[in-house]
Amino acid sequence: MLNLRIEDKNPHLKDELHEIMVENKDIFQSVLNGEDEYVDSLGWFSVEKWASREEVRKLKKLAAHIRENADAFVIIGVGGSNNAARAVIEALQTDDKVKIIYMGNTLSPYELTKALKELEGKSVYIDCIAKNFETLEPGASFRVLRKFLSDKYQEKANERIIATGTKGSALEKLCEEQGYTFLEFPEDVGGRFSAMTAVGLLPMAVAGIDIEKLVLGASDMQKYLTSGEIAGNPAYQYACLRNLYYKKGYKIEMLASFEPQFRWFYKWWIQLFGESEGKDNKGLFPSAGDFCEELHAMGQYIQDGTPLLFETFLDVQEKNSSLDPAPDKVSDGFDYLNGKEFWEINKASFHATVKAHREKLPCLILEVENLDAYAFGELFYFFLFSCYASARILGVNPFDQPGVEAYKKWMFEALGKDRKIS
């Protein structure tokens, strides 16, 4: 189970944390009970609702069919429609049975053309993931890929098209008309909260990820966090700490790790907190640091720059691989590494970084037992729960995104969406 550790030189932090946790206990209880105000957005709260044994069995069956017949599987989606799946696939996919390709996340003709070239000579299936089928990026890519499949497979193309949208949407209607396979994007689950639904689970399963194990991790975390105990609830502690540091003047939270497998998880996390809390001129700015790669650039700023941020580290506890930088006949000045594995060296770098950074700023460490599907399920639910609680403590609606809708308005106007086509 995940464990939250705090590295903060403030001698009064324990008392301050206790105070803010008690102060917001009613919010915590409301989160546990499910608030009527947000009932239409809480479908994710119970993992079982959209990731039941039967639903997982159905998705695994479809994924097995695709894996048997496809060389490439295209996920057409942007933001919450693909971030969770990509986070897990990029971290855990170990076979090359099916190549996962991402479209619908850019309008760049260069990138779209590049993706199409990757599909040449391959057996292709696609999944267009669009909750209400109004977002420009996946809609435009879906057009391109439908033509690609039609040219390649003619009347058989519709057998290779899956679409994931809400019941009654234009996307479902399109599936009925064209004979595409339709999967439900739950109406009561926002995109950034959709990891444990068909949105995230089907692509993961196509990539060979054990989605049963992933769902179990999320389900176990749900049971742990909803037991009703405030004092020992790490997600609630984390939510309160974020708000405590925000009140102290910190403007940025950086999620970091020394495991590059988390590289795409950062993007999921950034969207989750950025889109959920960045409202009413409030909220921490979510950022990420991919260490060691970015340690020299960001480490310098963290150590000596403007004190704007605190850090949250993901630290994997169990060794995930072995590699020994064994000495050779070359005198290179690195003999102090003799007898050490890269696991030990990487851990030394992590601990040294925390030791240095905690002198300047608070460091939170979320200890992850292992880096597998179960752990990703745990992490997804931990952050979903804590984000809900954190946004409520902050005093904003965790589930809307008025800023996103604002840019869409101007974009649609620029493209003439509502003008009549003659």
Which positions are annotated as active-site residues? Answer: 275, 296, 408
Cα distance between residue 364 and residue 354, in whole Å: 9
Q: Is the dihedral of CA 305, 311, 315, 321 positive or negative?
A: negative
Identify the DSSP state of 81: G
Q: Which amino acid is at 164?
A: T
Cα distance between residue 74 and residue 59, in whole Å: 16
* Cβ(246)–Cβ(284) below 8 Å: yes
* Cβ(147)–Cβ(103) below 8 Å: no
* Cβ(374)–Cβ(217) below 8 Å: yes
Cα 228 off chain centre by? 26
Q: What angle do CA 269, 272, 276 make, to 5 degrees?
A: 150
Q: What angle do CA 12, 18, 24 make, to 5 degrees?
A: 135
Cα 334 off chain centre by? 38
* Cβ(196)–Cβ(216) below 8 Å: no
Cα distance between residue 75 and residue 72, in whole Å: 10
Cα 408 off chain centre by? 22
Q: Strand order in 285-290's β-sheet?
A: 3-7, 363-368, 309-316, 252-257, 285-290
Q: How far apart are the first and last CA of the chain?
A: 60
Q: Is the dihedral of CA 354, 355, 360, 365 positive or negative?
A: positive
Cα distance between residue 2 and residue 367, in whole Å: 6
Identify the DSSP state of 79: G
Query: Alpha helix locations (H) across 135-197?
Result: 136-153, 170-178
User: Smallest Cα–Cα separation from 150: which of 159, 141, 162?
Assistant: 159
Q: Is the dihedral of CA 128, 131, 134, 138 positive or negative?
A: negative
